[in-house]
Amino acid sequence: MQLTAATILIGGEAGQGLATVGHLLTKTLVRAGYDVVVTQDYQSRIRGGHNTFAIRTTLPGEGPRVAAPSASVDILVALNQETIDLHTPALTPGGVLLMGQAMSAHDVNALAVPYKELIPKPIFENVAALGVLCGLLGLDRAHPARLVTEQFQKKGQDVIDQNLAVLAKSHDWVEQQPHGFGPLAKAPARGEHLALNGNEAVALGAMAAGCTFCSYYPMTPATSVPMMLAAHAETVGIVVEQAEDEIAAVNMVLGASYAGARAMTATSGGGFALMVEGVSLAGMTETPLVVFLSQRPGPATGLPTRTEQADLTLALYAGHGEFPRAIFAPGTIEQCFHLTVHAFNQAEKAQTAIFVLSDQFLADSVRNVEPFDLAALPPAVLPDRSDDAPESYQRYAVTESGVSPRRLPCAGQSLVVLDSDEHTPDGHITEDLAVRVTMHEKRLRKHALLRTDAIPPDYDGPPTPDLLLACWGSTLGAVQEAAALLRAEGQAVGVLHFTQVWPLNPDHFLPRFAQAGKVVMVEGNHAGQLANCIRMETGFAMTQCITRYDGLPFTARYILDRL
């Protein structure tokens, strides 16, 4: 019987090459036309520990697009005995275990792969594993062969030929085994798709937005964003600076932004905690600031390589004093790209701090997406490039919207004065308390602008659902899948996904809540942080909050078990 979906879990120690095999198989599946969702679970160490790389693949068009991990496994690839001991219970009845010949398993369908016979030396083991997996899944041999050829192109034809020989031998071997595993149904032809994780999409979004400066201090799971920007820095014209710490990083961004750069920083909760004074400086100086904040479990170092959604209130209240800000929370790879573009424009439009709030699950989750349409992007919002009437120019002129014309220093005759103290409209320090009130109210009026521009949450479902599942950020896929399973049972279920979690516009969601029989918030923290924000802003109390804070991403099963 041919399958329309399968979950492949590769487990072993860090340093055994499981991620390499996983990425090769992911690219092969995408090129063969399948949808994929990758979940990486790894410990905070260079070598050792128990890590997994899980690929959930589905045939496109077979029901709603799946965008969450699965609790069950169809193919378990064990690179060590610990993987068998830990994950065999998750193996489905028709599943198969691939293991080394020195390992042991009981009462499951298992194949002991003779790697020593398939490869001339250990360095070929990853390609052999790819060949076995492609053979087991019934994938066209041309897809992995082309990928391997590209992978080793720089090493010469001899290396390519050796790897292709291992690939073919491994593929042949598994086809001769009585494994009983049904292959995947052939995927229909479709246009080009990219295999991207969330951080790669954020970096591409920053490039598309015209980012010209990024300063950061390394912190998992955000670091791959500046790393990707650095890899393409010369091509697209970006300066990427690894600062001595997060305090320097955020202040470098402010300096660059003040001078006219499209600037951002990337960090996680612990690093962001050090940046908050800089965030406050952005509020007072009205300097555009884009912060990519990729969440992981805290407090302190917490679980540095696991996922959580517990920094919403940190981003919301970061910085002393009162000043406006907006917080975006992508739930898909496409939203990672487009919300990053939007963040740059909103930062310039409102001249304040804007956050893109992601997490480890989304950062490391590879999925297939269609190429982004760059021509369809909105025009970039840029500083005032005019130099009209420079003698009367005031950097902090009082306006109805609260947004003052932002000219760049040394770009003309206009004098641009900036100060972190309270200041007059022309930028000079003041302790005139009446001016203080005027300037404070001017800055706070920008909150109304951000609220007017707030992106409404996406809704999917009947007009009056019996159950409304609300969520934000990366929980979207699991919530959508849980809703689909409940609908298949005949229940009227709606899904409301927030991609902007601050400011909130109650007109966008309160009518939905009122039309639902029961409203349940699903979010990855203990407190129900977005549910609390909604209650604070509107007085609306959720019927139930389903939370998760064990470092793992939501699955549909986890949600259904708690409803």
DSSP 184-205: BPPPPP----EEE-HHHHHHHH
pLDDT by residue, tens only, the chain of 563 residues: 788 999 999 999 888 888 999 999 999 999 999 999 999 998 887 777 899 999 999 999 867 778 899 999 999 999 999 999 999 999 999 999 999 988 999 889 999 999 989 998 888 989 999 999 999 999 999 999 999 999 899 899 999 999 999 999 999 999 999 888 889 999 988 899 999 999 999 999 999 999 999 999 999 999 999 999 999 999 999 999 999 999 999 999 999 999 999 999 999 999 999 999 999 999 999 999 999 999 999 999 999 999 999 999 999 999 999 999 999 999 999 999 999 999 999 999 999 999 999 999 999 999 999 999 999 999 999 999 899 999 999 999 999 999 999 999 999 999 999 999 999 999 999 999 999 999 999 999 999 999 999 999 999 999 999 999 999 999 999 999 999 999 999 999 999 999 999 999 999 999 999 999 999 999 999 999 999 999 999 999 999 999 999 999 999 999 999 99
Question: How high is the pLDDT of residue 48?
Answer: 75
- Identical fold between 5-176 and 195-376: no
What proportions of the chain, in percent to the nearest 5, are helix, strand and coil? 40, 20, 40
What element of type H or E holds 91? strand 91-100
- Enumerate the β-bridge partners of residue 358: 294
Question: How high is the pLDDT of residue 167?
Answer: 95
Report domain extents, the chain. Answer: 5-176, 195-376, 390-453, 458-561
What element of type H or E holds 484? helix 476-488
For domain 458-561, give the CATH number: 3.40.50.920
Give the predicted TM-score (pTM) of the model.
0.95
> What CATH fold (topology level) applies to the domain 5-176?
Pyruvate-ferredoxin Oxidoreductase; domain 3 (3.40.920)
> What CATH fold (topology level) applies to the domain 195-376?
Rossmann fold (3.40.50)
Question: How high is the pLDDT of residue 14?
Answer: 83
Question: How high is the pLDDT of residue 432?
Answer: 98
For residue 20, count CB atoms less than 10 angstroms from its CB and return exposed for 0-12, middle for 13-18, buried for 19 or more.
middle
Q: Helix, strand, or coil here: 110?
A: strand
Instruction: List the structure tokens of 196.
Output: 């991207």
Q: Which of 23, 332, 17, 32 is nearest to 8 (CA)?
A: 23
Question: How high is the pLDDT of residue 180?
Answer: 87
